[in-house]
Amino acid sequence: MTKPIRPTPEQLAAAQGTTIPDVTAPGLRVLFCGINPGLWSGATGHHFARPGNRFWPALHRSGFTPRQFRPDEQRELLALGLGITNVVARTTAKADELTAEEYRQGGAGLVERVERLRPRVLAVLGIGAYRTAFGRPRTRIGRQPERIGDTEVWVLPNPSGLNAHYTLDGLAAEFRALREALPPAD
């Protein structure tokens, strides 16, 4: 059954605490990692689905995609060597509903996924989530000194419309810095 693009209030309420499938494959160029799915994502089954989330525009403006994809086109990222996962799988209305323990457990699960999938880069979208999940309180945006196996780790700003610290152009610039640091696609 196809889920609606614009969920009803009842569908949003029913999405609380659900999960949505990752968009992953072995050997991706970049595995983008959100904090956790919001209710719109839970209701539609698509990552970064809430209107106002700037993931899809930033991805395009940074040069990762040839055009701006819609959330329901998320599987098309795989052909570009890109994927999506989350630190915490459980959907919530806001990320502040997550506990520090959920972040830590999510970070451990993320390490296992990265070791299994072996992307070139893991890009965590949210500095606070990264700091808590990996116990790195002094982390800054950009390439991290730590790796997970052979996988480089980057921290990028959270693309949520609630992140007032970054404009769309600022987000796209940080995403572009990652894209330009990647070796050419095979």
3 vs 175, higher pLDDT: 175
Among residues 36, 53, 86, 158, which one is catalytic? 36
Task: Identify whether 60 is a catalytic site residue.
Answer: no
Any idea which architecture 25-181 has in CATH?
3-Layer(aba) Sandwich (3.40)
- Domain ranges (residues) in the chain: 25-181
DSSP code per residue over 111-175: HHHHHHH--SEEEEE-HHHHHHHHT-TT--SEEEEEEETTEEEEEE---STT-TT--HHHHHHHH
Cα 108 off chain centre by? 16
Active-site option among 46, 47, 86, 158:
47
Q: What tens digit of pLDDT does each residue of 43-98 get? A: 999 999 998 899 999 999 999 999 999 999 999 999 999 999 999 999 999 888 99
Residue range 94-124, pLDDT digits in tens: 888 999 999 999 999 999 999 999 999 999 9
Give the rounded percent of residues in the chain with a pLDDT score beyond 90.
89
Q: How many Cβ atoms from other residues are within 10 Å of residue 117's Cβ?
A: 18
Confidence of residue 5 (pLDDT cuts 50, 70, 90): confident
What does the alpha-carbon distance between residue 56 and residue 13 come to, in Å, rounded to a whole number?
A: 24
Give the whole-angstrom CA distance, residue 99 versus residue 17: 13
Predicted local distance difference test score (pLDDT) of residue 163: 75
Strand ranges for 21-74 from DSSP E: 30-34
pLDDT for residue 3: 44
What 3-state class would DSSP assign to 86?
Answer: strand
| Higher pLDDT among residues 94 and 163, named by residue | 94
Phi and psi for 66 in degrees, rounded to 5? -75, -15
Q: Examine the residue annotation and report whether 47 is marked as an active-site residue of this protein.
A: yes
